[in-house]
Amino acid sequence: MIGLVHLVRAANRLEPFRAFLDAYRSHPAHIDHELLLLFKGFRNRSQLQAYQALLHDTPYRALYLADVGFDIGPYAVAAQRFEHRYFCFLNSFSAPLADGWLASLYRQLLRPGVGLVGASGSWESAYTNVLAATV
């Protein structure tokens, strides 16, 4: 089973997480996986209520981390704490766009000589992400 790690930053507010969940539910992964959420920078449980309400019908496990450093730090913590052989790491603004997206990544990972796969694409900029977080 693949550990699907999604970083959820308090500083980004709720909308990027809502967009991720909408896309995640709309585009099946087509491979067995476990959703692992990294809640970064949430000071108390009351800050999490709106996020947890969105997850009412979605199984997941979570870690709660301070908002320190870059995304790679929490990803390393997740790789150490969760017992999966394979991980897919998604940042706060990630959103699957096609059915079978995780299965496609996994198929590429299994090819001879491949040790890491990734996908990236954005119609946004760092500037628009900052604007979205401050609205």
Question: How would DSSP label each residue in 104-118?
Answer: HHHHHHTSTT-----
- d(C-alpha 26, C-alpha 15), whole Å: 16
The whole-number average pLDDT for the span 80-85 is 98
Q: Running DSSP on this structure, what letter comes out for residue 19?
A: H
**Whole-number pLDDT of residue 129:** 61
Q: Is the dihedral of CA 63, 65, 68, 73 positive or negative?
A: negative
Nearest to 72 by CA among 87, 50, 54: 87
Q: In this predicted model, what pLDDT tens digit does every residue of 89-109 receive, in sequence order?
A: 999 999 999 999 999 999 999
- d(C-alpha 108, C-alpha 88), whole Å: 13
Q: What is the pTM for the complete model shown?
A: 0.88
The pair of structure tokens assigned to 45 is 């449980």
Band of the pLDDT at 45, cuts 50, 70, 90?
A: confident
pLDDT of 110 higher than 60: yes
- d(C-alpha 37, C-alpha 49), whole Å: 14
Q: What angle is formed at CA 12 by the lines to CA 99 and CA 21, rounded to 5 degrees?
A: 25
Residues contacting 94, CB < 8 A, separation 6+: 6, 20
